[in-house]
Structure 1
Amino acid sequence: MTSSDATPASRARRERDVASLVSQISFLEEEVTALRRRVTDGPRQTRALEERLAEAEGRASFLSERNDRLAETLREAREQLLTLREEIDRLAQPPSGYGIFLNRHDEDTVDIFTGGRKLRVSISPNVEMDSLLHGQEVMLNEAMNIVAATGFERAGDVVMLKEILQPVEGIPARALVIGHTDEERVVYLAETLREAPLRIGDS
């Protein structure tokens, strides 16, 4: 190969190398420009994202507070509804009657006096039978069963004691009294009167 042939070939290679380098430099410059743009735009994008995040957090807080208020309102409405239902049930109940406790028989039945009649009735588990006293007033439900114990009657006819009758097994203490029309009646003595110093003629 002659020197005249090598020179053009070398020149061609150099031109190709130069063109390749120029292309690489151009690519790198574009990449640097893109990187600079991203670096420049980064803070703005970050601020935008932070603003959107703050806005989302604010909306979430508002919705949470609103949800809490709605839950509280719903709870209060439910409580009011239950109260109204209880009041309606209470007002819808039939009237309660009263009787006078006489004596007990077993774990479930007792004798009472009500409406001029002596009845044997059942007693609610909520009432302690051992706490009932002769002559004590008791509350009756619609089925004439004892559902509550009250006190002792403070009002009634005024009578005069004529005689305390002899005790009979299984029967509460009794007395013979005279009413305001001189009518004699046999009555049961309340528990509170059994230990009292009763005398003939007391009223």
Structure 2
Amino acid sequence: MVSKSDVSRIILKQRDDTFWQHLLTTILKDRTKYQGTEYVDKIVLWRYENWVGFPVFNLYFNEQGYLEKINTIENKASKLSGILLCLILVPFGLFATIFSNRFSVQIVGLLFLLTLAFIIFFSRGYMKSEHSSLKDKLLETLDIEEVSKKPKVYSSSKFLVASRIFIWPISVFLIAISIYIALETKKIGYPILVGGIALTYIVSDFLILFNKR
């Protein structure tokens, strides 16, 4: 059986379980195994590996101080960031698709929503896979065997290839049609926002590829 003291020993950095600490771990890409904090009846642990949506493990202990269960959740920084992005980007896409009188703007809005849905779908799938993988590593560290149903595995390479095949052509199209709308209507608000997001994605992805090489 795993005791609370056994788990305490694997905490290399004492950190409060807060949004700011999770955000700091993400920004610094701090791969310390493990960071966390202790409470009376539980220990909270996390580690960053490859994904901003890294898991946070809540390990609960019984009255005798032995491990009873482990709950896995998304870190607070990733969760709040995802909610805020959806609250900002989804209304924009819906407004452009439903309320615009121009067909070209409606197409941009629709493609924007489809791209966002695609990113969310694959991101959640990959995140679940990474959560499962990191939980397995935690169990291995604690020398615990657990039989559970594994989620479908989304490897980072498969995720990136699938996202690039779908998102790159749409990003190029969004940039082109944003330029066209800006020149045609002389209004640059929506074109700059949509084209800027698409261009940022492409540039960021190229930088990732360049750094890998």
What range describes the TM-score normalised by the shorter chain of this pair?
under 0.3
Which has the larger share of helix? 2
TM-score by length of 1: 0.21
Between 1 and 2, higher relative CO (CA 8 Å, sep ≥ 6) is seen in 2
Which has the larger share of strand? 1
TM-score by length of 2: 0.20
